[in-house]
Structure 1
Amino acid sequence: MDWKTLEALLSGVNKYSTVFGRIWLSVVFVFRVMVFVVAAERVWIDDQKDFDCNTRQPGCANACYDHFFPVSHTRIWALQLIFITCPSFMVVMHVAYREERERKYRITHGENARLYDNTGQKHGGLWWTYLLNLFFKTAIEVAFLYLLHLIYNNFDLPRRVICDLWPCPNQVDCYIGRPTEKRVFTYFMVGASAVCIVLNVCEIFYLIAIRVLKISHRGSLHASSKKRCSEPDWDVCQTPAADYQKGNEADFTTEDKKTSIF
């Protein structure tokens, strides 16, 4: 797997992220991808060879290994890292779609015409895309943690397992190679995944809180405008209306006024 290509693709997401998103991306690459590529993958490289049973019955060790390790830890973590980064591409594709619309709009209306104040600004449809991206990443993280817990019994790796599967002649003892080292890496990767879940949840609440504050701010400006416009003097009405319009323009792009869906 080419992790450098994945990093290059995700670097485009970083500039559209909040502070929580940037921390999440740093945790993913420093504490998960780098640890996985540099160390964890090598710990499991001879996993089946180091799985030793106290019998030489042909096929017994293979049957027992397949029973206790149906899916390797490294395969699960590789799939997990791929799946949690895929939703971020929705944001990149949405921004690319906005940039294409901006380009076509300028061709039609002139170089000085602007459809968006900032194509990467999280308003309208892009805000929803970014929020869905966070929900998808959180759900995927939780699903893979549950899968790992289900397969390996609370993320534990015992030193000895008892196997009585066919073609073993009787109940045999099998020993896992380097169980302590594997247990340490397992807990580390699970902890890093838990940190990413917390960061995703914090970013979800942060985005919703900012959105609610902006809506309440626009509502208060609108109420203030209505109150002052009830004065008999028309000139008194002009300033709050202008202030309200200015507040709206600060919160929305030109296109958001036309259509909030994209």
Structure 2
Amino acid sequence: MIVSNNLLKHYRFGASQRTSRIGRVTLAALFFVRFGILALGARTIWMEESKNFICNSSQMLCTPSCFDEFSPISSFNLFALQLVVLFTHALSVTYWSRSTNQASETWLQAYFRERKFQVIMHMLCLLSRMVIESVFIYTYYEVTGGVWLPEVTQCRTRFCEKNVICTDMNSFGKNIFSLSLCVVSFTSIIICSLELVLSLLPRRSPK
């Protein structure tokens, strides 16, 4: 229990110890918002994703193959993977922040405590967070072929007859949830960008 309490105390949700308090609070809030959106979507929109995909075909393998063509990667799985990657990134930053504050004073620890090294690692943490957010947004854009997944699509797989039309009954809800997660990612990128600019500004030394 003591170890878990200390971990939560030093956990910074992907932000280093040089991040401002407002930045840490905002990143933490975005993390829980992202988790809440995924949890709600898993219980409603994506619970029976394939069953809500209907095609006007009598072929047995037509609808599953059209569903794979329509959605090769589920946006829920994509953003769930993003959450796992961000959580792993946050744990790595937390472990690094704690390791640089150990009591043992070696030449390596002394180097880690230098302000120049702290600033460089702080900037790398922010840049890596921005890269993760950007990669998943770009992947979502490429998978969906845009920012809005169509409700009706024409299937062209070899398992179907010609002129097969498929309808995704939950396309509107999926788009709303997916775009909400993209907005959260964009907000996280903006916060990290502001923190990156603040880290480049000279700090006033205390009098």
TM-score range, shorter chain: 0.7 to 0.9
Could you tell me how far 1:86 is from its partner in structure 2? Answer: 2.7
Query: Greater helix percent: which structure?
Result: 1
Structure 1 stretches (4+) deviating beyond 4 angstroms?
A: 8-11
Given the alignment, which residue of 1, 19, 27 partners 1:24?
27
CA gap of 1:123–1:90, structure 2 versus 1, over 3 A, is farther
Residue in 2 aligned with 1:204? 196
Q: Which segment drifts farther, 169-178 or 19-28?
A: 19-28
Q: Partner letter of residue 41 of structure 2? A: A
- Within the alignment, does 1:176 sit opposite 2:168 as a pair? yes
Could you tell me how far 1:10 is from its partner in structure 2? Answer: 8.7
CA gap of 1:105–1:191, structure 2 versus 1, over 3 A, is closer
Residues 36-185 of structure 1 mapped to structure 2, 5 A cutoff: 36-37=38-39, 39-42=40-43, 43-100=45-102, 102=103, 104-105=104-105, 123-185=115-177
Could you tell me how far 1:195 is from its partner in structure 2? Answer: 0.9
Cα distance in 2 between the residues matched to 1:68 and 1:10: 44
Cα distance in 1 between the residues matched to 2:164 and 2:139: 27
CA gap of 1:122–1:192, structure 2 versus 1, over 3 A, is farther
Which deviations, in whole Å up to 9, do the C-alpha atoms of 1:102-151 show, x marking residues without a partner?
Answer: 2x349xxxxxxxx88xx9x8834233222111100101111111110011
Over alpha carbons, which structure has the higher Rg? 1
Report % sequence identity: 20
Count of residue correspondences = 194
Which deviations, in whole Å up to 9, do the C-alpha atoms of 1:34-89 show, x marking residues without a partner?
Answer: 1211x112211101011110012011111110011111111100111122233333
Cα distance in 2 between the residues matched to 1:91 and 1:169: 53
Q: Partner letter of residue 77 of structure 1? A: F
SS at 1:162's partner residue?
strand
Q: TM-score, normalised by structure 1?
A: 0.66
Residue in 2 aligned with 1:12? 11
Q: TM-score, normalised by structure 2?
A: 0.82
Segments of 5+ residues of structure 1 without an aligned counterpart are 107-114, 218-246, 252-262
- Within the alignment, does 1:194 sit opposite 2:186 as a pair? yes
Could you tell me how far 1:9 is from its partner in structure 2? Answer: 5.6
Residues 247-262 of structure 1 mapped to structure 2, 5 A cutoff: none
CA gap of 1:78–1:40, structure 2 versus 1, over 3 A, is same
Cα distance in 2 between the residues matched to 1:202 and 1:41: 32
Cα distance in 2 between the residues matched to 1:49 and 1:158: 17
Cα distance in 2 between the residues matched to 1:122 and 1:172: 65
Greater relative contact order (CA < 8 Å, ≥ 6 in sequence): 2
Checking the alignment, whether the CA contact within 8 Å between 2:10 and 2:98 is kept in structure 1 is: no
CA gap of 1:136–1:51, structure 2 versus 1, over 3 A, is same
Checking the alignment, whether the CA contact within 8 Å between 1:53 and 1:172 is kept in structure 2 is: yes
Residue in 2 aligned with 1:233? none
